[in-house]
Amino acid sequence: MAPMLEVRDLAKTYEMDGKPLEVLKDVSLSLDEGDLVALVGKSGSGKSTFLHVVGTLDSPTAGRVFFGGVDLFSRSESELARFRNDTVGFVFQSHHLLPEFTALENVMMPALIRRASRSATESRARELLKAVGLGDRLPHRPTELSGGEQQRVAIARALVLRPNLLLADEPTGNLDEATGEEVFQVLLELNRTENISAIVVTHSERLSARMPRRMRLAGGRLVGEA
Amino acid sequence: MTSDLATHPSTALGMSGQHGNVSPTAPAPGDSARAPRLPAPRFSRLAALFIDLALLLLLPGVSLAVFAKPMARLAPNPFSGDALPPARWFFLLLSIPLAFQVAQWILFAATGRTFGAAIVGIGWERPDGRRPGILRALVSRSLPILIFGSALTLLEPNSRAIWVRAGLALVVIGVLLLDALGILLRRRSMRDVASGLFAYARDLDKPRAFEAPRFSGRASAISMLGVLGALAVSSLVYVLFSHFNIESTSIDVPSVAAGVSIPLSLVIVGALAAFAARRFVVGELALTALLTGLLAYEAMLTKVVAVPALQAFEVAGFLDWSLYALSAYFGIILCLILGSALGFMVASDRGADASTKFERLVARRHLRLKLAHWLELAVIATLLPIVIYGVFIWPVRTVWRLMKGRRGAKPLPPTVFMALLTIVGVMFGVTSLNVVLGVMGGFERDLKQKILGTNAHGVVHRSIGDFDEWKKVEAKVRSVPGIKAVSPFILAEVMITTNDEVAGSVIKGIDPDSATSVTDIRKYIGKDEGSLTYLAHPELIPSDDDLPQGVLGGGTSTSGGSGKILPPPQPTTPKPVLPGIILGREMALQLHVWVGDQVTVMNPIGDLGPTGPVPRSQVFRVAAIFVSGMYEYDSKYAYITIPAAQKFFRMGQAVTGLEVRCDNPDEARPLMRQVRETLGGFPYETKDWGQMNENLFSALRLERVVMAILLSFQVLIASICVIATLVMLVVEKRKEVATLKAMGAREGSIMKLFVLEGLIIGGIGAFYGSAAGFLFCELIKKFGVGLDPQVYYITRLPVVIQPASFVAVAGIAMLLVFVATLYPARRGGSISPAEGFREE
Average pLDDT of the segment spanning B93-102: 43
pLDDT at B789 over 90: no
* Confidence at residue B461, expressed as pLDDT on a 0 to 100 scale: 82
- Chain A interface mutation, best of B8, B13, B353, B357, highest count of A Cβ atoms under 10 Å: B13
Confidence of residue A83 (pLDDT cuts 50, 70, 90): very high
Query: What is the rounded CA–CA span in Å between residue B519 and residue B661?
Result: 8
Lowest mean pLDDT among B168-177, B209-218, B536-545: B168-177
Q: What does the pLDDT read at residue A66?
A: 92
Average pLDDT of the residues in B676-687: 79
B707 beta partners: none
Spell out the residues 6+ positions from residue B468 whose beta carbon is closer than 8 angstroms to its own: B652, B653, B654
Q: Best residue in A24, A48, A70, A92 to probe B by mutation, most B CBs within 10 Å?
A: A70
Checking if the pLDDT of B244 tops 80, the result is no
Higher pLDDT, B192 or B294: B294
Is the CB of B154 inside 8 Å of chain A's CB atoms? no
Is some CB atom of chain A closer than 8 A to the CB atom of B839?
no
Q: Is the pLDDT of residue B370 over 70?
A: no
C-alpha distance from B280 to closest chain A C-alpha (Å): 13
Q: What is the pLDDT of residue B463?
A: 76
The answer to whether the CB atoms of B1 and A120 lie below 8 A apart is yes
d(CA A205, CA B323): 74
Q: Is the pLDDT of residue B293 over 50?
A: yes
Distance CA B484, CA B503 (A): 35
Residues 393-422 of B with CB under 8 A from A: 410
Interchain contact, A98 vs B362, CB within 8 Å: yes
Cβ within 8 Å of A, B 351-390? 353, 355, 357-358, 361-362, 365-366, 368
Do B14 and A87 lie within an 8 Å CB cutoff? no
**Mean pLDDT, residues B757-784:** 87
Q: Are strands B637-641 and B580-584 parallel, antiparallel or unpaired?
A: antiparallel
How confident is the model at residue B391, as a pLDDT? 59
DSSP state, residue B41: P
Confidence band (pLDDT; 50, 70, 90) for B475? confident
The sheet carrying A213-218 orders its strands as: A88-91, A165-169, A197-201, A36-41, A213-218, A221-222
Q: How far is A176 from chain B (nearest CA, A)?
A: 24
Q: Which of B15, B740, B747 sits opposite A70 (nearest CB)?
A: B15
Residues 748-807 of chain B with CB under 8 A from chain A are 748-749
* B401: closest CA of chain A, how far (Å): 19
pLDDT of residue A106: 93
B349 touching chain A per CB within 8 A: yes
The residue among A51, A96, A114, A144 with the most chain B CBs within 10 A of its CB, best to mutate, is A96
A103: pLDDT confidence band, cut at 50, 70 and 90?
very high
Report how far residue B195's alpha carbon sits from residue B253's, in angstroms, rounded to the nearest whole number: 46
Task: Please tell me the total number of residues recorded for chain B in this structure.
Answer: 840
* Top mean-pLDDT range of B210-224, B312-326, B588-602: B588-602
Of A82-86, B10-14, B306-310, highest mean pLDDT? A82-86
Exposure class string for B711-739: b at 16+ Cβ within 10 A, else e: bbebbbebbebbbebbbbbbeebbbbbbb
Upper half-sphere CA count for residue B531 (Cβ side, 13 Å): 11
Per-residue model confidence as pLDDT tens digits over B40-57: 333 344 444 454 455 444
Query: What is the residue-wise DSSP string for B516-569?
Result: HHHS-GGGGEEEEEE-THHHH-GGGPPPTTHHHHHHHT-S---GGG------TT
Dump the DSSP string for A93-112.
TT----TTS-HHHHHHHHHH
More confident residue, B727 or B389: B727
| CA pair distance B27, A209, nearest whole angstrom | 36
Three-state secondary structure call for residue A19: strand
Give the closest residue to B429 by CA, choosing from B722, B193, B150. Answer: B722
User: Which residues in chain B are contacts of A55 at CB distance < 8 A?
Assistant: 742
At residue B337 the predicted structure's pLDDT band, cuts being 50, 70 and 90, is confident
Tell me whether the omega of the peptide bond preceding residue B683 falls within 30 degrees of 0, making it cis. yes
Q: What pLDDT shows up at residue B504?
A: 87
Q: Is B628 exposed, middle or buried (0-12, 13-18, 19+ CB in 10 A)?
A: buried
CB B217 within 8 A of CB B49: yes
SS3 at position B607 = strand
Using CB atoms, pick whichever of A56, A83, A100 lies closest to residue B365.
A100
**Set of chain B residues whose Cβ sits within 8 Å of the Cβ of A64:** 24, 35
Predicted confidence (pLDDT) at residue B601 exceeds the cutoff of 50: yes
Please state, rounded to an integer, the average pLDDT across all residues of chain B.
69
Q: A79 contacts in B (CB within 8 Å)?
A: 13-15, 209, 349
Q: How confident is the model at residue B129 (pLDDT cuts 50, 70, 90)?
A: very low
Whether B80 has a pLDDT exceeding 50, the answer reads no
At B810 the pLDDT is 92
The nearest CA of chain A is from the CA of B362 a distance in Å of 8
Higher pLDDT, A199 or B609: A199
- Give the mean pLDDT of A13-30: 85
Averaged pLDDT for residues B116-140:
40
Cβ contact A81–B746 (<8 Å): yes
Contact between A164 and B9 using a beta-carbon 8 Å cutoff: yes
Q: How far is CA B280 from CA B218, B270, B271, B276, in A?
A: 13, 9, 9, 10
pLDDT, residue B839, reads: 56
Check CB contact under 8 Å for B742 and A57. Answer: yes
Q: What percent of chain B has pLDDT over 90?
A: 4
Mean pLDDT of B590-612: 79
**Which has more pLDDT, B486 or A179?**
B486
Q: Hey, which residues 8-27 in chain B have their CB within 8 Å of chain A?
A: 8-10, 12-16, 18-19, 22-25
Contacts of residue A94 in chain B, CB cutoff 8 Å?
840
Measured between CA atoms, how close is A178 to chain B, in angstroms? 28
B34 vs A contacts (CB less than 8 Å): 9, 62
* pLDDT at B227 (0 to 100): 81
For the ranges A180-194, B227-241, B331-345, the one whose mean pLDDT is highest: B331-345
A36 - beta bridge partners? Answer: A198
Of residues B201, B712, B234, B217, the one with CA closest to residue B436: B712
Q: What's residue B458's pLDDT?
A: 84
Q: Which residues from chain B sit within 8 angstroms of residue A105, using beta carbons? A: 361
Query: pLDDT at position B295, please?
Result: 63
Residue B756: per-residue pLDDT: 92
Number of alpha carbons in the 13 Å side-chain half-sphere of residue B67: 17
In tens, the pLDDT along B513-555 reads: 787 777 777 778 877 777 777 777 777 777 655 544 433 334 3
CA distance B207 to chain A (A): 5
Give the mean pLDDT of B301-326. 48
Q: Are residues A73 and B38, on separate chains, in Cβ contact within 8 Å? A: yes
Q: What is the pLDDT of residues B392-444, one digit of tens each?
A: 666 666 666 665 655 555 566 777 777 877 888 888 888 888 888 888 888 88
Residue B608 CB neighbours (<10 A): 9
Task: Please tell me which residue of chain B has the smallest CA distance to A55.
Answer: B742
User: Does A57 sit within 8 Å of B833, measured CB to CB?
Assistant: yes
For the ranges A70-84, B136-150, B464-478, the maximum mean pLDDT occurs at A70-84
How far apart, in Å, are the Cα atoms of B415 and each of A144, B725, B726, B729? 22, 6, 8, 6
> Which chain A residues are closer than 8 Å to B37 by Cβ?
61-62
Other residues' Cβ atoms within 10 Å of the Cβ of residue B493: 12
Write the ipTM.
0.94
Q: How far apart are CA B68 and CA B287, in angstroms?
A: 26
Among A58-67, B26-35, B322-331, B765-774, which stretch is predicted with the lowest mean pLDDT? B26-35
Residue B30 touches chain A, beta carbons under 8 Å = no
In angstroms, rounded to a whole number, what is the distance separating the alpha carbons of residues B603 and B465? 21
Reduced to 3 states, what is the DSSP secondary structure of residue B731?
Answer: helix
pLDDT tens digits for range A142-167? 988 888 888 889 988 998 888 989 99
CB pairs under 8 A between A and B: 192
pLDDT number for residue B166: 53
8 Å CB contact between A138 and B15: no
| Closest residue in B to A120 (Cα–Cα) | B1
Higher pLDDT, B409 or B454: B454
- Which pLDDT score, from 0 to 100, does residue B435 have? 87
Q: Is the pLDDT of residue B566 over 60?
A: no
Q: What is the pLDDT of residue B378?
A: 60
pLDDT recorded at residue B759 = 92
A164 to chain B: closest CA residue: B9
Quote the pLDDT of residue A118: 87
Q: B744 and A113: CB-CB below 8 Å? A: yes
| Residue B838 C-alpha, separation from nearest chain A C-alpha, in angstroms | 10
Contact between B509 and B579 under an 8 Å Cβ cutoff? The reply is no
Q: Please list every residue in chain B whose beta carbon sits closer than 8 Å to the beta carbon of residue A73.
A: 38, 208-210
Name the pairing type of β-strands A165-169 and A197-201.
Answer: parallel
Q: What pLDDT is stored for residue B737 in this prediction?
A: 92
Lowest mean pLDDT among A217-226, B269-278, B734-743: A217-226
Helices (H), B639-788: 642-648, 668-679, 689-692, 694-732, 734-742, 747-783
Q: Which amino acid is at A96?
A: H
Q: Helix, strand, or coil here: B282?
A: helix
Ordered by start, the domain boundaries in chain B are 42-204, 215-354, 364-449+697-838, 456-550+573-689
* pLDDT value at residue B4: 41
Taking each helix axis from N to C terminus, what angle separates B414-454 and B394-404, rounded to the nearest 10 degrees?
170
Mean pLDDT of B180-201: 52
Closest CA to B173 of B102, B239, B119: B119
| pLDDT score at B739 | 92
Chain B partners within 8 Å of A58 (Cβ): 210, 832-834
Q: Which domains can be identified in chain A, with CATH numbers? A: 5-222 (3.40.50.300)
Confidence band of B32 (pLDDT split at 50, 70, 90) = very low
Q: What is the pLDDT of residue B74?
A: 46
Measured in degrees and rounded to the nearest 5, phi and psi for residue B649 equal -90, 0
Task: Please report, rounded to a whole number, the percentage of residues in chain B having pLDDT higher than 70.
Answer: 58
Burial annotation B104-136 (CB, 10 A radius, 16+ → b, else e): ebeebbbeeebbbbebbbbbbbeeeeeeeeeee
Least trusted range by pLDDT, from A102-111, B235-244, B510-519: B235-244
DSSP label at residue B124: G
- Residue B98's pLDDT is 45
Reading across the β-sheet that carries A5-16, which strands appear in turn? Answer: A19-31, A5-16, A62-67, A70-71
The amino acid at B162:
I
Side-chain-side CA neighbours of A214 within 13 Å: the count stands at 14
pLDDT at B179: 52
Q: Please tell me the distance in Å from A181's CA to the nearest CA on chain B.
A: 25
Task: Judge: A62–B36 Cβ closer than 8 Å, yes or no.
Answer: yes
- Residue A88: its pLDDT value, please? 92
